[in-house]
Structure 1
């Protein structure tokens, strides 16, 4: 039985099936993405979406969709689906779907009269190629498949419309044809494994609608070019392969290539294996030597803070330390270049943010927990030393260590922390001054440095460490038992209850006493905890906005004023387990089982960027987010370690189907 399986009832309900999306990537920045029913609901959706750096920094949709028509006795049954302007769905291929499941390859089974056909999809590793496999399971008479490509050749952020600039010419290739619709684009090769007939019948499908873009306040209709179609006969028990790629491939190689790709994949058979698959999807290798983590799909690139936060969970706690080494070897030179003021990385966005170095130290600390202090110092000790002294030199344009010993962050109104929503270039939540998580990270960083490189520790640093601890308690602790989110010398004190104080209770070294840490966790549990993560603002605080949808302006206002962020669960669980010991294990376990349900929802088999702040906690934002996946994987490791420590004989960490 498949772990991720959707029956005909759900697939036929478009209100349900179009809300669930899948994502597959090739580790080179390309991806395929759509709703599980096959109806594209975003401008980012497509069968083959690839980076073309010479044209723009964004990805580009080449093949938007591939319509499948089953023909018997000359009667066509189009099992594709598109939404057109006016909420019109045509064709209505969803009514023929009997099952959709995601085990190794995405698989859709159709029944049309006496015909039962299975379609399977694979996105190849490290090459820009999508492979589809069609297998005829049942039929009572001659059956023909008709495949109609919908071509876009556009930036993911720009919709296309019928125009005269298009190049309608096509070239015949072995068992297929190729197209290049506009200058500057690569050639798209469409090929089949079997002899067929290609019929050139150029037409524009006009006014296709993307409902997610309409909800987001963007342009939402476009015209797609359909150059013609492929007709191929298929017999019962026979399999036909279709390839969409940037280079020509031998048709006879498609079957073994599909099997080879299939064998490389880990089946999605439980919660953790789904997360492991998802973690691998973020891994981005633009060439043979470099490696990064993309922040999320379908629209994020490489972001420094996200990378360091997600890195432990998506690599060392995903049983892939080799990825950790490659990524660190890639990002350390760029981080050093910024610290030495010799340049800012073009590949890594936000490497100049003031807290990025502190998150990098946290990442090194996680690695030390995994591999041991000696190994960490051997590999990364000099980098840790540079990071600490970079902050001590007070050369960052937006951060300085002031007379209190704390990190003071001052800017010009732009976002300066992970809460980076902005309107008109100005932060929606202007967190400046002393930020609670930044200073918790700073205290933790100093303690970690003292622990692992004692030879570099001196009396001056010891004095600073004690000063940071005392100042932290004086500045952030209030009489209500929680911590101020930030203290700004230029604005009125904000008493809002926000989740960033969790780091002062969760980090390996905390400046707070145990009673204070307990108080912080209890308040977060009462006001911020949900089954999907921690709210970014308490419902009791002014400005709470639980729904993160609508136009970009509405979403920006809601991101950090009530939306739920699942990546914060990692630190919340860490603090909870430290404080409550064996009694916390069942609580963490139950919460993770609740999170497991999310794999069937917004992003199938993965975890979304954020959720609404109120029930039913609907998934929002990116359908797959590296920080969410990474911190849930780390949470599973924390739970495993707690069970081992207390020798708890309970149910498995997560139920298995």
Structure 2
């Protein structure tokens, strides 16, 4: 039985099928993304979406979609689907779908009268290329397939309209054509593994709508250019492979290329395998010797905090320590360069934010637990020492060590924490002063530094750790037995927020066992949802659980009540620290709600955030690295508890 399979009743019901998306990526940052019925609902959707560094830093939609038509006895049955004004859908090809599955690759089965046609899509790991395999499973008379490519050639951040600037010329290449709509773009090669007849019939399809953009208050209507169509006869049992990419392909070897890509995939046959595949989709290698993690799809780039929070789960938890080492080998020079010169990195964004280096040490700590302290010492001890020295020497422009040993950061006018939404240039949540997770990270980093570097480090910073043992509870623990989110002079933030959970989740904590239990208790009572921890308690002023409306409305709700799965990971780790083996069954039950997400929203992965109130709808980016990584770490942690 297929793990990710949807039958006809789901596929023909657009209220169900249009909310489910699929995503396939490669190592260059290119991707294929659409809904399970191949109807684009976002400006970010497309069959081939790729970076064009010669133009800008954006991704660009080259091939938006491909409409297939089955022709028998002169009768045409169009399998495409587009939305137009007034909730009108045309040509309504979804009514022919019998089932959809995506265990290995997305596979759609169509039935048109006596014709049964399967369609499978695979996105190349290292080339900007999508390959679509069509197999005529059954037919009782001669059959022809017609393909109309819908071209966009525009940034994912814009929409295109009919215009006279389009280059309509094309050039024949083996079993297909190449064309380029505008200067500066690469050629788009569209080819088949057998001879295909191309009919030049240029036409603009006007007024195609993207419902997700309409919901978010953005422009949502687009015109797409179709240069013509391909026709290919197909026999019962025959397979045809279509390729679209920015380089030509050897059409005689297309089937081999396709099979090679399939062999490299881990089938999505379980919760863990879905998460593993999702984690690997964030791998980003713009240059051959570099390695990064993208923060999410479809719009996020490489962000420093996200990278270090995510890298243990996206590598160590799927038994890929080499990937961890490659990513750290790319990221450490960027941090060292920032420490030496203050220069920001062109790829790893926000490297100057005050908690980034502390998350880097946390990530190395996870490597030490996975691969052994000796190996971690060999690879990373010098780096950890440099970071600790840099912060202690008060060299970080945004993070200062105070007399009580705690770290202080000014976030009144600039968003400096992961709660980084802004409105009119100012933080929606202006967390400033002694910030609870910054100090939990700092305390954990200092103790791990001793573990990594030995007795000399202990002598060097033992007094600092003892100072924090005293000052952390004095500053953060309040009379109601939870932790202030931040403290700035005489001002204390009484809001119940999830950031206190890190003081329990980390290996080293300045809290007593009783204090840890109290933190877990209040987080459980006020912040826990089936999809993550709320960013603000419903009992706190300003609670906004629904991430909907205009950009300003969504910015206001982003960290004011929405639920975040990456915090769920920290919570479950903290829960196991407090309750030990007796907490295993609770953690396993909580993970069931995350497994449900594998067949919702973006199939096989976890979105950026959820509404804080039922029905806890997924929102934001359709696949988010921190969330996937956190749940992978919990799954890995459960394996270790169960093994014991």
TMscore range, shorter length: over 0.9
Deviation at 1:501, TM superposition (A): 0.2
Give the alignment's Cα RMSD to 1 decimal: 1.0
The equivalent residue for 1:10 is 10
Distance in 1 between residues matched to 2:424 and 2:96, nearest whole Å: 47
Counterpart for residue 525 of structure 2:
526
Which residue of 2 is the match for residue 651 of structure 1? none
1:44-59 equivalences under 5 Å are 44-59=44-59
Q: Which residue in 2 is equivalent to 1:73?
A: 73
Report the Cα offset of residue 422 of structure 1: 0.9
C-alpha deviation, 1:488, in angstroms: 2.1
How far is 1:74 from its partner?
0.9
Shift, 1:196, TM fit: 2.2
Maintained 8 Å contact 1:200/1:227: yes
Aligned-pair distance for 1:464? 1.1
SS at match of 1:570: helix
Write the deviation string for residues 610-649 of structure 1: whole angstroms up to 9, x where unpaired: 111011111111111100110101001111111122xxxx
The residue number in structure 1 matching 2:443 is 443
User: How far is 1:456 from its partner?
Assistant: 3.4
Helix, strand or coil: the match of 2:311?
helix
Question: By how many angstroms is 1:428 displaced?
Answer: 0.6
Query: 2:308–2:363: 8 Å Cα contact kept in structure 1?
Result: yes
Deviation at 1:257, TM superposition (A): 0.9
Query: Partners in 1 of 2:315 and 2:512 — Cα distance?
Result: 32
Matches within 5 A, 1:373-412: 373-411=373-411
Distance 2:196 2:354 in 1: 59
Cα distance in 1 for partners of 2:449, 2:456 equals 8
1:221: how far off?
A: 0.6
Residue 412 of structure 1, CA deviation: 5.2
**Whole-angstrom CA distance in 1 between matches of 2:97 and 2:211:** 22
**CA–CA separation in structure 2 for the residues paired with 1:406 and 1:120:** 55
CA contact (8 A) 2:130 2:243 kept: yes
Displacement after TM superposition at 1:489 (Å): 2.9
1:451, CA displacement in angstroms? 1.7
Question: What SS does the aligned partner of 1:370 have?
Answer: helix
Q: Which residue of 1 aligns with 2:34?
A: 34
1:482-523 C-alpha deviation (Å, 9 max, x unpaired): 000111237x43211000000011110011000000000010
Query: How far apart are 1:297 and its partner, in Å?
Result: 0.5
Aligned to 1:85: 85
**TM superposition outliers: structure 1 runs of 4+ over 6 Å:** none
- Map 1:487-566 → 2, pairs under 5 A: 487-489=487-489, 492-566=491-565
Task: Please give the alpha-carbon distance, in whole angstroms, between the structure 2 residues aligned to 1:216 and 1:414.
Answer: 25
1:166 corresponds in structure 2 to: 166
TM-score (norm 1): 0.97
Distance in 2 (CA, whole Å) between partners of 1:550 and 1:170 is 43
Segment of structure 1 superposing worse, 273-282 or 394-403 = 394-403
Matched, 1:287 2:282: no
Q: Are the equivalent residues in 2 in contact too, given 1:577–1:642 (CA < 8 A)? A: no
Give the alignment of 1:592-631 within 5 angstroms: 592-631=591-630
**Equivalent position SS for 1:313:** coil
1: CA distance, partners of 2:185 / 2:456? 54
Segments of 5+ residues of structure 2 without an aligned counterpart are: none
- Give how far 1:165 is off: 1.1
CA change 1:326–1:429 in 2 (3 A) is: same
Q: How many pairs were matched up? A: 644
1:9-158 equivalence runs, <5 A: 9-158=9-158
Asked whether the 8 Å contact 1:133–1:239 carries over to 2, the reply is: yes
Q: Report the secondary structure of 1:463's partner residue.
A: helix
Counterpart secondary structure, 1:349:
coil
Could you say which residue in structure 1 is the equivalent of 2:355? 355
Q: How much has 1:344 moved relative to structure 2?
A: 1.2
Q: Distance in 2 between matches of 1:548 and 1:348?
A: 27
Deviation at 1:264, TM superposition (A): 0.9
> Which runs of structure 2 are paired with 1:197-216 in the superposition (5 Å)?
197-216=197-216
Secondary structure of 2:204's aligned partner: strand
Does the 8 A contact of 2:411 with 2:431 survive in 1? no
What is the Cα deviation at residue 342 of structure 1?
A: 4.8
CA–CA separation in structure 1 for the residues paired with 2:455 and 2:61: 54
Aligned to 1:478: 478
In the alignment, what sits opposite 2:456?
Answer: 456
* Structure 1 residue 79, shift from structure 2 partner: 0.8
Alignment partner, residue 249 of structure 1:
249
C-alpha separation in 1, matches of 2:541 and 2:183: 53
State how far apart, in whole Å, the 2-side matches of 1:390 and 1:54 are: 37
Deviations for 1:312-346, whole angstroms, at most 9, x for unmatched residues? 00001111111111111001000100111252100
Give secondary structure in 2 for the equivalent of 1:119.
strand
8 A Cα contact 2:404 2:471, kept in partner: yes
C-alpha separation in 2, matches of 1:290 and 1:477 = 43
| TM superposition shift of 1:470 | 1.1
Correspondence list, 1:276-355, <5 A: 276-355=276-355
Q: Which residue of 1 aligns with 2:413?
A: 413
Q: Which residue does the alignment assign to 1:423?
A: 423
Contact 1:211 / 1:220 at 8 angstroms: preserved in 2? yes
SS in structure 2 of the partner of residue 314 of structure 1: coil
- Whole-Å Cα distance in 2 between the matches of residues 134 and 509 of structure 1? 55
SS in 2 for 1:443: helix
Structure 1 position 411, deviation (Å): 4.0
In 2, are the aligned partners of 1:569 and 1:635 still within 8 Å (CA)? no
Residue 237 of structure 1 is matched in structure 2 by 237
Does the Cα contact within 8 Å between 1:11 and 1:17 map onto a contact in 2? yes
Contact 1:82 1:208 (C-alpha < 8 Å) held by counterparts: yes
